[in-house]
Amino acid sequence: MIDLGLARIGRLLQHTPQTWKAIHVAGTNGKGSICACLSAMLSASGVSCARFTSPHLIDRWDCITINEKPVPETIFRQVEGSVKQRDQDEKIGATEFELLAATAFEIFHRLKVEYGVIEVGLGGKLDATNIMKHKSVTVIAKIGLDHQSFLGNTIEEIALQKAGIIRSGVPCVVDDSNDSSVMKVIQDHAKEVGGVELHYPSSDSALVQVLTQEGYEPHQVQNLACALLAFRLACPDFDHSMSRLLPVVKQLQWPGRLQRIDLFPIIGRHQEALLDGAHNSQSAEVLARYVNKHYRSRSQPITWVLAASKGKDVDSIMSHNVQPSDQVTAVQFGAVDGMPWVKAEDPANLINQAIRYGVDTQNTHNSGDDVRAALEWASRVAGEKPIVIAGSLYLVSSVLRLMREAESDQKA
């Protein structure tokens, strides 16, 4: 269930002090990558740091990390149990996400971390994470159309919800590659809040140039520049030199974002695939640019393994990426642990969309709810040509979970 508001999370946490400094990150795309970069830099600087992002990747507790490692399952379940008991005893009726956010904040307090890097769950203004009292820096990443039924039908309405994380006296980093109308909404809201200094990554041209020369894609440059700027603002006394931070950034791996994987553990033969959680128009456009640059430049058709959540703008994902010469299999991911409201789109609908964009019916395949079968079909028909797995972060989770299980079986 999604029911935005701060009253229930406020009651859940009324006896849990926020003893850590927070960096709060909102946005439609890029916020998870910014959080990963921030926590990596904090940990590399010797700071005790926790991170809370959603959705989880493989296990429900891996959405919470302590010093770059998932919180131990035993600690997660113990704290989650006490939070759920509190919810029950006080008849609060908190949502699943509110219970999860409260569990994360309780763990941060119990483990006495110095910094918490927090990704907004949905929107900003009324998101459960916005209950935080002590913010060191806020960050607003790239904003696009997504979750319109909760946040508004225009990009300006959505931007205003995201801008709701801004606080007086707290510096805010804004990705200034956003549309001018989005920038105006954020700037106007910052003036209304008062006492807010806005910072833009492109103002540091030397930083942008260094990241570009390192070979990062344009959207990655923006995300990394936002993270580096936020780190400097949150920790002004630390060493901010690129000679120290760039190696940290280069070692960073954020699963499911332009991630190259070898399907060998699942299908039994070496086959590279690109794994990306692109699930809205903006992220689909970014994926298309990458695929066109690195794969289509060799005039090769792409074999797609696609899934989507119900209600997502499948049309925009298809229109940006799928071409008539491509091959497409669609699959349905399974139930998402702790998120019962998430439902998978019927693969038949995805196949019909692909055909609408010119893909030959003979080059499509409905894999039902069998992700392994989808990958095996893709490997068989692709041969040595590229495979791209996309459309949903939940599909990313399913693939990575399959890889882990297969690798575990091979070791046994």
Mean pLDDT of 139-145: 90
Reported as a pLDDT band with limits 50, 70 and 90, residue 210 is confident
DSSP 337: T
Reported as a pLDDT band with limits 50, 70 and 90, residue 205 is confident
Looking at the DSSP assignment, which residues form a beta bridge with residue 52? 64, 118
Q: Work out the angle between the directed axes of helices 205-213 and 242-251 (0-180°, nearest 10).
A: 40
At position 252, the amino acid (one-letter code) is L
Least confident of 83-97, 173-187, 241-255, 396-410: 241-255
Residues of the chain above pLDDT 70, percent: 96
Residue 55: is the preceding peptide bond cis (ω within 30°)?
A: yes
Concatenate the DSSP letters of all residues of 12-68 into one string: HTTT----SEEEEEE-SBSHHHHHHHHHHHHHHTT--EEEE-SS-SSSGGGGEEETT
What distances in angstroms separate CA 331 from CA 36, 226, 334, one per listed residue?
29, 35, 10
pLDDT for position 281? 83
Strands (E) in 67-185, as ranges, are 69-70, 115-119, 135-140, 172-174
Concatenate the DSSP letters of all residues of 295-327 into one string: TGGGT---EEEE--BTTS-HHHHHHHH--TT-E
CA distance 358 to 326: 9
Mean pLDDT of 156-184: 95
pLDDT tens for 169-180 read 999 999 999 999
pLDDT tens for 323-344 read 999 999 999 998 888 888 889 9
Mean pLDDT of the chain: 91
pLDDT for position 357? 95
Per-residue pLDDT at 190 exceeds 70: yes
pLDDT for position 345? 95
pLDDT for position 150? 59
pLDDT for position 262? 95
